[in-house]
Chains A and B, each alone.
Chain A
């Protein structure tokens, strides 16, 4: 715990992504992606739809094998099953007919991968209650998850991912389909988790502006390549133009950032058709 608004970045690295390249069905998705994540850091993984954000998260999780490069957690080679990573996937469709309460889903975060029938215990229940309170989901702990709103479901999924006490939490587009109020609340919640529990957070998003106040580090992906550093280092005309492979303008308006693509002579898919919309 600390009074500082940002976590004391003690220099401890938790995740190292080195030269990762991925091809799927003959198409290059990621090309030599390299970045670091420190303990308790909040990292925004920014890129347009189809830029390769989900693929990169899957490589970090060990669900996708890279063609080249490697991902290391705490200087250990990554195994396929790593319980020190929590994951909130993109667009989880929770069926309203699925008879599962919020607390049941969170409890599965403790032991859902184990075989055998679950034995209810006081400790298990207490841990679930504590986690539900930590994400302010205790008010709807007994409701069916499928009946909750998008923001409520995100809280439950975050609780599910956090209850196994991971050192790193990956979230794939958790802000998509949330209205601005809920978005702010989820971002605030995640920032607090990173700071107070020293959990590194990597969050993918296609909008940069909602994350500007909280990001310690940005990994900007375009055309399968990535640039990383602080926001000031990365979100600059020269850096992003080099990344996109053609000229783009980075414009600051009232504390917001707009990335405006020129007429793309290369015709690449990630040139923002409507730049103001793409970057928020």
Chain B
């Protein structure tokens, strides 16, 4: 690991992911803009390229994507203890809230206010996910070729193709295209 990264205390790592874990209504993707804001912009623990690569890797592994991202970032920053602390931080808030709700529902309580709260949050969740994609444009969309990759991948995903297959296709086309590009460059220079 490079020495110019500010070292982050374990307790802070826990707190950052607990805060994010407590408000990620609507599944893992919504964690992205929050993690990016905290970890990349505010704390500067990772740069943008490192961040998008972590998102790629954790999307290709099995499991809840948000927890995977916490594990990877925690590991990268502070090794195994960091991974454990970040994962616990990401999970504990929702674990407690689910237990509470399961308990209340078992007791026959009416949760109308809670439902209204979640109902109000839903449009914001959609906006947050679009925003997550928007914020990654600097790392992922620099050349026209990148935009073509994006459009093709989006079409394949909307057609219902398995995301893992689309990621693998992206990796292979990246290797092939970049290698061809290098070969043609070498031929130009005598």
**Same complex origin of A and B:** no
